[in-house]
Amino acid sequence: MIRRKYFYNQKTLSYERVKPSAKRFFMQAGLVLGLSVVLAFVFTWTYSMNFDTPEEAQLKSQNNKLETQLYVYGQKLDSIHGYLSQVEERDEDLYRVLLGENPLEDEIRLAGIGGSENFTFTEDHIISQLDLDKAQARVAVQKSSLDELTYKANKIAGELESQPKITPIRRSDIVRFSSGFGYRNHPIYHIRKFHEGVDITARRGTPVYAASAGRVVIAGNLKDGYGNKIVIDHGNGYRTLYAHLNKINVKYGQEIKLATKIGEVGNTGGSVSPHLHYEVQKDRRVVDPVPYLYGNFSEEEFDDLVSLGN
């Protein structure tokens, strides 16, 4: 109900309604309008603080997805650093020790990028380009290290493959080792002279076997005191020489296997009795053959090698 105001008019002796002035009207209207504006502002602010616009809702959804992906990537990066640390530890403590290589310094492993090689991801940590660069650098350095060790391992494996592996005469056929590696009194010239191999005494015609697989580079009598001789190139700088043979069973350029029968013991050239003069050369320099005279094969195992070689 609208309340109206009246006043007593003494001239007319009656009550008359109070008519609002224009000033009062505009004051009241302004007050109402001001209150409306304030209420509208408060309402809008409250709504915006508690409710999102469609654009804001979409942006928040995208941000939540990005934060989730970032967290997952951070955990993966943390795992990568953990795996790298394990590989680097094996690289230092096992592979490099076994292959006789010096350890890598920390500066090299970090590839010149500062900071600790350890990485731990937390929700408050933001993945930076530096984190990614560190991981990438560590992977590159580790790959280079493994490539180096693989090359060294293959080289060692090649050397082991090329090294002489057996005594060139069956153990049961050996009478004795008559002369060793080093200086001795020459049995013919009766002077002190360096003996470049070992002499293995055996009966004439005793089979002589290749001490390792390789290619025949000499097969014949070169009139150099060795009589009938064979030289086999085994690769990686290794060669073996078999001299004073009674018979040669291989020819120049022939590829042969380990324990292939290549000839027979004889007494040709500068020799006083049937025996095999056996030399081992490494990088064209004679070395003591004794470390390469493996005598731990049984007769059955030696027979198996001969069967495979022939």
Domain boundary among 136, 161, 186: 161
Are residues 203 and 232 part of one domain?
yes
Q: Read off the CATH number of the domain in which 222 is found.
A: 2.70.70.10
Q: Record the tokens describing residue 265, joined without a space.
A: 């013991």
Are residues 230 and 204 part of one domain?
yes
Are residues 254 and 236 part of one domain?
yes
> Which residues span the domain enclosing 235?
171-309
Q: Where are the beta strands (DSSP E) in the chain?
A: 6-9, 14-17, 176-179, 182-185, 192-195, 198-201, 207-209, 214-221, 228-235, 238-248, 255-256, 261-265, 275-282, 285-287
In a domain, 26, yes or no: no
In a domain, 253, yes or no: yes
Q: Output the pLDDT for position 149.
A: 76
Compare 268 and 64 and report the one with higher pLDDT: 268
In a domain, 148, yes or no: yes
Are residues 190 and 149 part of one domain?
no
Mean pLDDT confidence for 209-221: 95
pLDDT single digits (tens) 106-155: 666 665 555 444 445 454 555 566 667 777 777 777 777 777 777 887 88
In a domain, 112, yes or no: yes
How high does pLDDT run on average in the chain?
80
Are residues 186 and 97 part of one domain?
no
Are residues 180 and 156 part of one domain?
no
Are residues 297 and 177 part of one domain?
yes
